[in-house]
């Protein structure tokens, strides 16, 4: 058994942390109630959206009471994690950018999520982040830029490989919905190559002017002269 030479300060620290958490939750509760008053909602079942950005929130109360919540704005706060979304199965848009979030455990409870903004946070573990997002089959728009995990050398390749359903990553298109091959590959580079080959083909043609005779050459043209050549370039 370890011996704490100074048990009183430790107890005070625990009490201080609990007090800080209670204060943070009270601030969150007030912010939610203020929004309900502004929107004129009297029943939880009538709440489809909550705007809680720029409230200096470090924690958020459990929002499971709002069963029909679809849009939630929490950007520009001071959140560290996501533990307040457990039964919000109708949520389709979630804005968590510009916080201090270092893990996103709990997001897999949101099967209807379509838009998820997480840029400007403190996410460092790309494996844990992808694992949490993998089961979200309706996720189409995702932002993760300005997180430490973006320093990973193959960041975009890794995300594209593991989340083939996402159509817009960090404000850049890399997939084309129904044309995306969702086969699982052993090598991520193979996956990107195959999916790129599914994209529309563009063909550009131009005249090889070195093979076009001048007026004088046409005047002196002899039979059997080869026709002018066309150059064709095909891109995906």
Domains of the chain: 21-152 (3.80.10.10), 202-235 (no CATH)
- Lowest mean pLDDT: which of 114-118, 163-167, 216-220? 216-220
> d(Cα 39, Cα 34) in Å, to the nearest integer?
9
- Region 18-39 average pLDDT: 86
Q: CA triplet 125, 73, 60: central angle to 5 degrees?
A: 70
Nearest to 98 by CA among 120, 82, 68: 120
Q: 193-213 burial by CB neighbour count: b if 16+ within 10 A, else e?
A: eebeeeeeeeeeeeeeeeeee
172 band by pLDDT with thresholds 50, 70 and 90: confident
- Region 15-36 average pLDDT: 80
Distances (CA, A) of 81 to 99, 101, 103, 107, 181: 9, 5, 6, 10, 33
Nearest to 102 by CA among 139, 128, 133: 128
Per-residue pLDDT of 69-79, as tens digits, reads: 999 999 999 99
Q: CA triplet 141, 147, 151: central angle to 5 degrees?
A: 110
Nearest to 65 by CA among 42, 38, 47: 47
Per-residue pLDDT of 132-152, as tens digits, reads: 999 898 999 999 999 999 998
DSSP assignment of 126-147 = HHHHHHHHTT-TT--EEE--SS
Residue 190 corresponds to which tokens in the numbers above? 């193979």
Strand 93-95 relative to strand 71-73: parallel, antiparallel, unpaired? Answer: parallel
- Region 54-73 average pLDDT: 95
**191: Cβ contacts below 8 Å, ≥ 6 apart:** 160, 161, 164, 181, 183, 184, 185
Predicted confidence at residue 194, as pLDDT, reads 54
> d(Cα 25, Cα 20) in Å, to the nearest integer?
9
Predicted confidence at residue 113, as pLDDT, reads 95
DSSP assignment of 15-46 = HHHHHHHHHHHHHHHHHHHHHHHHHT--SGGG
């Amino acid at each position: 058994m370890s011996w704490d030479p100074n048990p009183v300060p430790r107890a005070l620290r625990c009490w201080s942390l609990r007090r800080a958490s209670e204060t943070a939750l009270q601030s969150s509760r007030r912010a939610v109630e203020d929004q309900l008053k502004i929107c004129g909602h009297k029943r939880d079942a009538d709440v489809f959206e909550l705007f809680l950005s720029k409230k200096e929130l470090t924690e958020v109360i459990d929002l499971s009471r709002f069963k029909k919540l679809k849009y939630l704005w929490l950007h520009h706060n001071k959140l560290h994690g996501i533990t307040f979304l457990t039964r919000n199965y109708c949520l389709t848009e979630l804005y968590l950018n510009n916080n201090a979030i270092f893990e996103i455990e709990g997001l897999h409870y949101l099967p209807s999520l379509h838009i998820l903004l997480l840029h400007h946070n403190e996410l460092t573990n790309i494996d844990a982040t992808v694992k949490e997002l993998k089961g979200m089959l309706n996720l189409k728009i995702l932002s993760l830029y300005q997180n430490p995990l973006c320093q990973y050398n193959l960041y975009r390749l890794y995300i594209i490989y593991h989340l083939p359903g996402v159509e817009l990553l960090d404000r850049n298109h890399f997939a084309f919905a129904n044309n995306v091959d969702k086969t699982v590959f052993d090598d991520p580079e193979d996956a990107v190559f195959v999916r790129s080959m599914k994209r529309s083909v563009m063909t550009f043609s131009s005249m090889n002017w070195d093979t076009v005779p001048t007026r004088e050459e046409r005047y002196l043209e002899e039979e059997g002269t080869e026709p002018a050549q066309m150059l064709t370039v095909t891109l995906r």
